[in-house]
Chain A
C-alpha cells in the first residue's frame, strides 16, 4: 500500500506530463484516449479477437475533443494506450476583445488574455450573447496536450 502511495506522490510531482499509459482493456466509453496524437473522448468501445484462439482487441471510436473529428483505433486489450491529461479550469469572463480574444480572471487575481474565442459561429454567438446581456459568466477552459479551448459556460448570476 505504502509503495503505491509513494509512486502516486512522485507522479504528482511530475505533473507536467501530457499523457499517461493505461491498459486498453480498462478504457471505457466516455473516457479519454490519444489517437494519432490527438486528445479524444471515447464514444464507443467494442472487442474482437484475432482468430478464434487469439487475444482480445479493443476497437475504439473516439471524437477529438478540440475539433470534433472522429477517429478510430484498434489496440490489443492487454497493451497500453496513451491517455491524455485533460485539465479543466474555471475563469470568470471579464471581456471579449474585438480581435476575438477573451480576457479571463484567474483565481489568484491575474488576467489571462491569450485565449481565442471559438471560430464556430454558433458557439461564438452563445458566448457573445450571454456576455452582451450582462450576465456574470464563468467559462470552463479545457486544456490537453498543449491545446486550450472553452468547453462550457455557466451563468452564475446574481445570488
Chain B
C-alpha cells in the first residue's frame, strides 16, 4: 500500500520535514512516527520516518497516509461507526446493537489497518480501547497465517504507541494496549528469535532505565507487568493452544528473562530513591517507584519451578493446601540459587528497609501516609521477602537465611512493637495496615522456620523472644476484640486470624514433622497464658451475645477452623490447659445448680456451650469417617499420671459425661438442658467417643529422643487414660449412658431437627462404625430399648423422615456385632418384620384407594418406606439374606403403592429410591432365581411408572408449582436411571453361587427393555437438569460400550430416541457429557465397522439410508453423526481436552462411510473463498488421513496416530475456518 514517489519528490519532502524536526542525538530511540502535511484540499501526503528499534530505517512517503483515496473514507467510516457504538454503550442506548457492532470488528478478517487507524486517530478513548481489543482477538485467531513481518509490526505498533503516548491521561487505554502487546508477544514467543526478543527488550530496558522520562519509565514497567502476568500460568489468557505451549513459555521466560526484568525494575526503583528521600512532599518519582516495587512483588510471586523443595509445607504434597483466606495468605518464595546475587548479597533488602524507614518518617508530612501506594507496595515486598527460602541460601546450616530474616525482622518489629502502644494508637485513629502487614511478616517467617529458630530470631536484638512478642500481640488483639462488635469486622478480627494462622503454622509442624521442634519453655508458658485469655474472651463473648433476642445459631462447623487453632495452642501447653478447663467446667456446673430456680441460667448455659466445643477440639481430632488417633500431646504430656482416676483427661471427660447424664432426669432436663446445650453435648460425646471409647492400639511412635524411663511412663499413662473407657472396664457403662442420652434426645426434644440430626448421624452413626463397639452395643439393655422403641412406639414417627432412615440403617448395621450369622439375620428380621407387616397391612386394605390419600396414612407410609430404605442401605454380606426377605415381602405392596400414589410425587419418589437402594445392596449376591424375581419386579415397576407418566402434563396457575412438578419428574427419572445402572452391576460383580451361564438372566436384555421404557420419558427438556443429563449419558455410554450387540435389536423409535439425545448431548457445554457422547459414538461406529469387517449386518437398518415419510432421502445414522461431528470439531466451540475423544469417534466413523467423508472433504475445500485457503485445506485434510503411516483399520496403533493427526489438523485449519 505504500506509494513511493520519485527521488526528487522525496528530497523535496525531506527538506520540508527537516525544517521543523530536529533529531535528538543522544542515541535515544525513535518510535515509528507519522507526520502529515496537508498539500491539497483532498490529498494527504504522509511522510513516515520509521527509525524502528529493530534496526531498519524506513523512509516512506505515502499518499493519504498510505491509504488510497477511497480506503481512507472507509477507515473514517469504520472509525465513526465504532465511536458511535462506544458512546451509545456509555449512555446505554441500545447497548446490544452497539456490542454487536464492536464484536463484528473483532470478528472481521484482518481488521488491523482499521484498528490501527482508530487507535491513532480517534479522539475517543473508548474507541481506542475497543480497537486494541479487536487487534488482540483477531491476531490471536489469525496468528498462524500472518506473515512474520506482520506479526512483528503489530507488536511494535502497540509498543511504540504506548511509549509515544506515555503521558496520556487515559491510563486504561495504555495499559490495554500494552497488555495486547504482551499477549501477542507471548503468542509469538516460540517463533521469535532470541535476537528479535532481545531487540524489543533492550528498548524496554532503556525505557525503564529512565532515559525518556518518568512516564515512559512507568509504561515500561507496566508492560513488563502485563508480560509476566501473561506468562504465569494462573493469570495467563487462554489462546486455545495446548497447555504445553503455556508451559514452554513459562519456562523460557523464567530461565532467560525474569531475573533481568527484576533487576531493571530494581534499578528503576533505586534510581528514584534519592529524589524521594530528599524531597519533603510528594514527587512524581513515587509513582515509578511504587510500580517498580509492585512489579518486583509480582516477580517474587512467580511459581518458580527450580525450587528445591525444602520448605516445610511442601514436604507432604497431600496436605499442602493453598491458603485461600485473603487475610492471611503466604506463599513460599523459592527462586533458586541463581537469584542469590540479586536478592541476598546485593544489599537489596537493606535498601528496601531503608527506603521504608525514610517513608515512615515522612508519614506525618504531606504526600505520604501509611496507606499511600508506595508504602503499601514497599511493605508487601518486605513481607514477601520474609518467605524467601530454599536453595537461594547457601547451605550453611541456615546461617545466611538467619541473617536475612534478622535483617527483616529488625525492620518489621518497628511496626508491631510494643503491641499495647500500637493498639492504643490504632484505637486513636492510626491506620492498622502496618500492624497487619507486620503480622503477615511473622506468619511468613513462621512458615519457613521452626519454633525454636523463630523464637531465637528476636532474642538476638531484643531481650525477649519472638514467641513472647507473638503472644503479646495476640493478647492485645484478643483484648481489643472483646470490646468490639464483630459485625463491623474490626481490625483486631483480621489480626486475630493472621496470628492464629501463625500459631497454627508453628505448632502443626512441631507435632507432625519432627519432634525436635517443640516449643521452648517460654513458648509453652506463653501458649498457656494465651489460651487462658482466649477462653476468657470466648466465654465473655458467649455470655454477652445471649442478650440478643433473635439469634440464628451458627453451625458448629463454621467455628471449626478457629476452634482447631485454639486447640493447637491449648495442646502446646496441655498439662496446664486441661486442668484449667476442668476447673472452668466445675465452676459452671456448680453455678448452674446453686442458682437452680433462682437465677436465669442462660448465660451459664451459653458458656458451657462454648466450653464444650473448645474442649471437644482440645481432646480429640475430627475423624472424618475414620477413627482418629489420640492427639500426641495428650499421649506424651502426662507421664506423671499412671492412675486412671487421676489422669487429667479422664477427670475432665468424666466430669462432662456425668453432667450429660443428668439430662436423663426430666426435671433437670427441663431446667438446664436446652436444645442448644444438648447439641453441644451430643457433638462432644460423638467426638469424644470416636477417639477414646473402647480404643486399643499402640502409642504413636515418638520421634523425640527420650530416655527409656520417660517413655515407659508415657506408655503407662496412656494405658491409664484408655482404661477409663476400655471394653473390659467402664467402656460398656459409658456406652450405655451414651445410648440412653441419645434415646432421650430423640424422644424428649420433639421437633428439634438439628439436635436429632446430630444424634442420628454423628453420635449413633459414629458408634456403629466400629465393630468392637457393636459387639457390646447389641448386648446392651439400652440399645434393645432403642430398637424396641423404634419398631413399636409411634413416638419416633415424629422424627424427621430422613432421621428415621438413618436410625434404621444404624440399627441394622449394629447387627455386625453379633458373631453368629443366624442370630444376626434373626435380629434384623425382628427389626424389620413389624415394618413390613405394617406396610403390607396398609396396602391390602379394601378401601386403600380412598384411605391412602389421608395425610396420616401418607405420613405412616412415608416413614415406613424411609425406614425400609435405611435398612436396605445397610446391607452387608452376612445380613444380606434377611434384607432380601424384607424387600421380597413388600414387593407387591410397593407396586400397589405406586399405583395408588401415582399422583403423590413425594411417595412415588420414595418408592423408587427404596427399590434403588435395595437393589444396590442386594444385586451382586442374588442367586439366579432370585435375580429373575428381582428383575421381573423392576421391569414391572418401570412399566407401571411409565404408564402413569408418559404424556402427562401438569396444569397449574403457579409457575413455582409447575417447576416443582418438573423437578419431581426429574428426580424420579434420575432414580429410574440409577436403578438401571445398579442392575448393570450384576454383570460386573457377581458373588452368587450360580455356576452355569444359562441359568442367568441376560442383564443386557433387561437393560435394553429398561431403556425402551425409560427413554421416551426423558425429553430434552428433562435433560436440562445437569445431574439427570449426566446419569443418562453415563448409562448410555456404558450400555453402548458394553452391549453394542443389542443395538440392532432396538426398534426404530427407541433407537431414534437414543440417537436424538446423543445429538443433543454433543452440543452440551459440559465437557464430561460431550466426552460420554463421543465415547458412545465411538462404540457405535466401531461395532458397526467390526461387524461389517466380518461380513455381518452391523447396525443393520439403522445405519443404512432410507426414505422418510415425506419421501425425502435420509442418511443412515452413522453418516449423520459423521456430518455433525465434523461440523462440531471444525466450526464450534469446545474444550481442547475433548480432541482426543473426538478423534476416537471420528476415525471409525470415517472408516464406516469413506465415500461420504470424501464428499464432505471436497465440499469443505470448495467452500474456501480463495485458492490459498483451498490448497491449505486440501493438504491439511490429506495429511489428516495419511500422515504418520495411518492405515484404514480401527486398531489401537492407528487410533493413536489419528489422535495426533487430528490435533495437528485442528491447529492448522481452525484459525481461518472459524472466521469465515
> Which A residues lie at the B interface, using CB under 8 A?
1, 4-5, 8, 11-12, 15, 17, 19-20, 22-26, 28, 30-32, 41, 43, 47-49, 51-56, 58, 63-70, 76-79, 83-88, 118, 120, 123, 126-127, 140, 142, 150-157
A76–B752 CA distance with the chains assembled, in angstroms: 10
Q: In the bound complex, do residue A23 and residue B753 qualify as a contact, i.e. CB atoms below 8 Å apart? A: no
Q: Is the CB of A153 within 8 A of B752?
A: no
Q: Indicate whether A53 sits within 8 Å of B855 (C-beta atoms), given known contacts A47-B753, A151-B954.
A: no
| A25 B750 Cβ-Cβ under 8 A | yes
A-B contact count (CB 8 A): 162
Smallest Cβ-Cβ distance to A31: which chain B residue: B906
Q: Mark B226-267, 1 if CB is under 8 A from A, else 0.
A: 000000000000000000000000000000000000000000
Q: Which residues of B sit under 8 angstroms from A78, Cβ to Cβ?
A: 750-752
Show 15 A/B contacts (Cβ-Cβ < 8 Å), sorted by A: A4-B794, A15-B850, A22-B855, A25-B798, A56-B752, A64-B958, A65-B961, A78-B752, A123-B955, A126-B953, A127-B955, A142-B903, A151-B956, A152-B955, A154-B952
> Which residues from 818 to 871 on chain B have a C-beta closer than 8 Å to any C-beta of chain A?
834, 837-838, 841-842, 845, 847, 850-851, 853-857, 859-860
Nearest B residue to A86, CB-CB: B853
- Chain A residues contacting B850 (CB-CB under 8 Å) are 12, 15
List of A residues within 8 angstroms of B575 by Cβ: none
B789-819 CB contacts (< 8 Å) to partner A: 792, 794, 797-801
Given contacts A25-B750, A65-B961, A68-B959, 19 further A-B contacts (CB under 8 A): A1-B837, A11-B856, A12-B851, A25-B752, A26-B859, A31-B906, A49-B553, A53-B675, A53-B677, A65-B956, A86-B853, A118-B957, A120-B957, A123-B955, A127-B955, A150-B955, A152-B954, A152-B955, A154-B951
A20 partner, pick from B675, B676, B798, B855, beta carbons under 8 A: B855
Question: Is B602 part of the binding interface, using a Cβ–Cβ cutoff of 8 Å?
Answer: yes
Segment at the interface with A among B544-552, B645-653, B706-714, B1086-1094: B544-552
Minimum CB–CB distance from A85 to chain B (whole Å) comes to: 6
Q: Once bound together, how far apart are the Cα atoms of A58 and B752, in whole Å?
A: 10
B198: chain A residues within 8 A (beta carbon)? none
Chain B nearest CB from A55 CB (Å) reads 6
List the A side residues contacting B794 at CB < 8 Å: 4
* Nearest CB of A to B227, in Å: 51
> Which of A58, A63, A126, A154 has a CB less than 8 Å from the CB of B751?
A58
Q: Which residues from chain B sit less than 8 Å from chain A, CB to CB? A: 545-546, 549-553, 602, 605-606, 674-677, 750-754, 792, 794, 797-801, 834, 837-838, 841-842, 845, 847, 850-851, 853-857, 859-860, 903-906, 951-961, 964, 968
Contact yes or no, B798 A68, CB < 8 A? no
List the B side residues contacting A4 at CB < 8 Å: 794
Q: Is A52 a contact of B602 with CB atoms below 8 Å?
A: yes
Docked complex Cα distance between A8 and B751 (Å): 23
Task: Give the nearest-CB partner of A142 in chain B.
Answer: B903
B855 contacts A77, C-beta separation under 8 Å: no
Q: Which residue of B lies closest to A138 (CB)?
A: B952
Among the interface residues A28, A53, A78, which one has the most CB atoms of the partner chain B within 10 A? A53
Q: How far is the CB of A92 from the nearest CB of chain B, in Å?
A: 14
Contact B750 A23 (CB under 8 A): yes
Do A51 and B855 form a contact, CB below 8 Å, given A1-B792, A30-B968, A58-B751? no
List of 10 A-B pairs having minimum Cβ-Cβ separation, nearest first = A77-B751, A68-B958, A25-B751, A53-B674, A68-B957, A88-B903, A78-B751, A78-B750, A83-B855, A155-B951
Cβ A43 vs Cβ B964 within 8 A: yes
Q: Do residues B964 and A153 form an inter-chain contact, with CB atoms below 8 A? A: no
Q: Which residues of B lie under 8 Å from residue A24 when comparing CB positions?
A: 751
Contact between B602 and A5 (Cβ–Cβ < 8 Å)? no
CB contact under 8 A between A152 and B961, given known A20-B856, A31-B906, A77-B751: no
A62 to B: closest C-beta gap in Å: 10
Residue of B nearest to A157 (CB): B951
**A22 B859 Cβ-Cβ under 8 A:** yes
CA distance A56 to B960 in the complex (A): 27
CB distance from B283 to the nearest CB of A (A): 57
Complex partner residue of B955 from A48, A52, A67, A151, CB under 8 angstroms: A151
Shortest beta-carbon distance, B931 to chain A, in Å?
A: 31
| Cα-based distance from A8 to B754 in the complex (angstroms) | 30
Pick the residue among B551, B753, B856 that contacts A56 (CB under 8 A): B753
- Whether A68 contacts B956 in the complex (CB less than 8 A), given A12-B845, A26-B801, A55-B752, comes out as yes
User: Shortest CB–CB separation between residue B592 and chain A, in angstroms?
Assistant: 12
Nearest neighbor of A66 in chain B, beta-carbon distance: B957
